[in-house]
Structure 1
Amino acid sequence: MTGLIHQVLMYDNEKDILDTVVPFLQEGLSAGEAVLTVGTAPNLSCLRQALGTDSDSVEFADSASWYIQPTRTINNYSSFIAENATARIRVVAEPGWETGTPAQISEWTRYESIINQAFADVSASVLCLYDRRTTDPELLDGALRTHPQLVEYACARCNGAYLDPATVNARVDRDPLPAPPPGAVRLPIDDDDLSALRSFISGHARHHGMSRPRVNDLLVAATEVATNAIRHGRRPISCQMWREDDDLIVDVTDAGRWLPDPLPGFVPPDPSSLSGFGLWGVRMLCALVQLRTGPGGTTVRLHIPCR
C-alpha cells in the first residue's frame, strides 16, 4: 500500500477501543511497520496491557504533550516519519482535546484536514480516536468532515461526510475575525526598523504579567509578521493588542491583499530551502495564529498565553 489512509473511530467505551485498536496495531507489527500510539494516559495504559509483550515494539506518546497546537503536532509527526523513512508508518492518534473556543475548534478541525494534504504521499495508516461521550459535538462534526474513512464495529468504510481540504480551509477562513475590543491599544507601524513596535509589545506584555520567555516568543513572532506586512503588504500598517482570558492577542493589519499557499506555515519547510520558515516559525511560537485576507486588507492575529 502507498499513500495515506486516514480513518476515524468514535468510541463509546473501552471495548470499542480494544476491539478495533489492538488488531490494528498488531497488524502493523506483523507487517514490520513503524508503529506509534498517541493517546490519553488511561487509554495508553489499557493498550499496553492488552498488547502484552508486543507493546515493547510500539512507540507511545501522551496526547497532552503531543497535541499542544496544530503546527507543533504536524512537526511531531513529520519527525517520526523522517526517523522511520524506510518503513511504512502506522499510527493510532487520540488528540485528547474535548472542547475549546470556537477558534480553537476551527483550527483543530483544519489540522485534521491538513493531514490529508500534507502527508498524502506518505505510506501510512492513521486511525484517529474520539470519545463520543465527552467530546464537544462541534469537534465530532469536524472529525467527520476531515477523515476519508469511518470505522464502526471494527470495519472501515468510506465516509460520505468527508470534505476535501480546500473546502475545509475555505469554511474555516470565510468568517471575519471578531473586532478588537474597545480597550485594545493601537500603534501605527511607520518605521521599518520596528523598534517602536518591539517597545510597544514588550511593555504591554509585561504589564499583563507575561513571563520573559513568552515575551521573547511574542516579539519574534510579531516582528516577523510586521516585516512581512512591510515587504509584501500595503500601508497603512498597524498593530493592536488586548487581553483575552489567559492569552494576549496581537493583531497586525495592513491594506494589502494576498493569496497564501494552501498550507500557509503549517508544514515544516524543506531544510534545503531558503524560504518558508517565517510563518511556520510564527505558528510554532504561538498558541494560535489566524489569518484573514480580502478586499479590506490582511490581518494576522497572534494568540500567546500570558504565562
Structure 2
Amino acid sequence: MTSMRPTGEWDGTTFAHEAFLFATDQEVLDRIVPFTVEGLSRGEPVLVVAGKRVRRLLAAELGQDVRRLATFAAAETWWRGGHGTLHAYDRDLRTLRSAAPTWRLVAEPVWLAREDGREWSRFEAVANRCYAAMPYYSLCLHDRRRLPTSVLDAVVRTHPLTWSGHAPVEAAAYEDPTRFLRSVQPEWDARPGHSAVWTVTAPQEARRALAAAVIDGWRERADDVVLATHELLTNALRVAPFVEVAFWTDHETLVVEVADTGPGLPDETRGYVPPAADLAGGRGMWLAWSLADDAAVASSPTGTAIRLYFRR
C-alpha cells in the first residue's frame, strides 16, 4: 500500500507549483486536508484563499484546527485584475519571506470562471520564473465543474506539478512561461495600411505626436496610451539610437507598436513581473502592461517590437 506524500520531495527551499483539478467535494478534502495537516504539524504557516464552498468544506473537516491557519480568506474578494492581483500577492509573499523560512498556500483563483479573470493564467505561468527561489508550496485548486475547457487547458500548461493520487508529479503538459505567453498573446498580424508611423529619437517626440493622434472616442484612454508608450520608448532608446512607433485603431481597439533594432529582450516575461521595491529601473514594461488591456511581443537578436492594445 502506497502512503500519501502531500508535498512529495519538496524540501521547503524553493517554489513548488501544483495544479489540482477536482470534480467532487471528496476529492477536495482528500487533497487539501492532508496537505494542510502536514503543514500545521511541521509548524509551517498554512494560508488558504479559496471560494465559499471549499472554505466551508475545509472548516467542517478541520474543526478547531482552522484557527491555526495563518490565513483563511475568501478568494472572491481578491481579484483586482491581473496586474493588481499579482502586485498585492507579491507584496504579501515578500512579507512572508521576511517572517517565515517556508510556508504553504492553498489557492483557488475563482475569477478564472469569469471572462475578465482568464488573463490570470499568464501570471500563473510567469510565477514559475519570478518566484522560483521563493520557499513555499502553492496548491492551486481548479473546479472542473465550473471552468471551461479552454481555461483548464491553460491550467495544465502553466503548472509544473500535478497530483498522481498519492504524490505530486511532473505535469506532462507544462510549458516554458515564454512559450505559453507567446501562444496566448494577440495574433501578430501585419500593420494595417492606415497606420500612422513615426521614427523618434527622444520619448518627448512620440508623446506629443500620440497625444495629438488620439482621436475623439479615445480621449478617456489618452493618458494611459501616452504614458505606457513613453515607458516602452524609454526602454527601447537605451538599446537603439532610434525607435519606430506605429499607431492605429481596429474597431473597438487602439493599438500602439514600439519597435527597435536592439539585441532583443533578455526576458519576455518582464511585463508580467512586479519590479522589486528597491529597483531604480526596470519598471517600464510592468507599468506599460498594467496600463494597457493587452500586449504582445515579437523579439529576436535583431530587435524587439511590442504592441499595446487599449479598448474603449
Measured against the shorter chain, the TM-score band is 0.7 to 0.9
Q: Structure 2 stretches of 5 or more lacking a match?
A: 1-10
Aligned partner of 1:12 in structure 2 is 23
Aligned partner of 1:131 in structure 2 is 143
CA displacement at 1:46 relative to structure 2 = 4.6
Secondary structure (helix, strand or coil) at the match of 1:143 reads helix
Aligned partner of 1:190 in structure 2 is 200
Aligned partner of 1:277 in structure 2 is 283
Secondary structure (helix, strand or coil) at the match of 2:272 reads coil
Residues 199-214 of structure 1: matches in 2 within 5 Å? 200-201=210-211, 204=214, 207-208=217-218, 210=220
CA displacement at 1:127 relative to structure 2 = 0.6
Is residue 303 of structure 1 aligned with residue 312 of structure 2? no
In structure 2, C-alpha distance between the alignment counterparts of 1:205 and 1:131, rounded to whole Å: 44
The superposition leaves residues 248-275 of structure 1 with CA deviations (integer Å, 9 ceiling, x where unpaired) of 4332233445132364233333333322
Q: 1:156–1:73: structure 2 CA closer, same or farther, 3 Å change rule?
A: farther
In structure 2, C-alpha distance between the alignment counterparts of 1:17 and 1:244, rounded to whole Å: 44
CA displacement at 1:10 relative to structure 2 = 0.6
In structure 1, C-alpha distance between the alignment counterparts of 2:249 and 2:292, rounded to whole Å: 15
Residues 59-208 of structure 1: matches in 2 within 5 Å? 59-63=72-76, 65-66=78-79, 68-69=81-82, 71-85=83-97, 86-87=99-100, 88-96=102-110, 97-98=112-113, 108-153=120-165, 155-163=166-174, 165=176, 168-170=177-179, 172-173=181-182, 177-179=187-189, 182=192, 185-190=195-200, 192-195=202-205, 197-198=207-208, 200-201=210-211, 204=214, 207-208=217-218
Q: 1:282–1:190: structure 2 CA closer, same or farther, 3 Å change rule?
A: closer
- Runs of 4 or more, structure 1, over 6 Å off, are none
In structure 1, C-alpha distance between the alignment counterparts of 2:208 and 2:311, rounded to whole Å: 18
CA displacement at 1:176 relative to structure 2 = 8.3
Contact 2:18 2:160 in 1 (8 A): yes
Is residue 289 of structure 1 aligned with residue 295 of structure 2? yes
User: Over aligned residue pairs, what C-alpha RMSD do you find?
Assistant: 3.5
In structure 1, C-alpha distance between the alignment counterparts of 2:268 and 2:243, rounded to whole Å: 26
The superposition leaves residues 265-286 of structure 1 with CA deviations (integer Å, 9 ceiling, x where unpaired) of 3333333332222222223333
The superposition leaves residues 276-306 of structure 1 with CA deviations (integer Å, 9 ceiling, x where unpaired) of 2222222333343322123784221223453
CA displacement at 1:12 relative to structure 2 = 0.9
Which letter maps to 2:225? L
CA displacement at 1:118 relative to structure 2 = 1.9
CA displacement at 1:126 relative to structure 2 = 0.8
Which letter maps to 2:140? C
Percent of aligned positions that are identical: 28
CA displacement at 1:225 relative to structure 2 = 0.9
Q: 1:231–1:158: structure 2 CA closer, same or farther, 3 Å change rule?
A: same
Contact 2:214 2:222 in 1 (8 A): no
Aligned partner of 2:5 in structure 1 is none
Contact 1:40 1:63 in 2 (8 A): yes
Secondary structure (helix, strand or coil) at the match of 1:237 reads strand
CA displacement at 1:198 relative to structure 2 = 4.5
The superposition leaves residues 129-157 of structure 1 with CA deviations (integer Å, 9 ceiling, x where unpaired) of 1222332333323322332321254x323
In structure 1, C-alpha distance between the alignment counterparts of 2:80 and 2:142, rounded to whole Å: 14
TM-score between the two structures when normalised by the length of structure 2: 0.76
Q: 1:160–1:81: structure 2 CA closer, same or farther, 3 Å change rule?
A: closer
Aligned length in residues:
295
Aligned counterpart for 2:227 among listed residues 220, 243, 254: 220
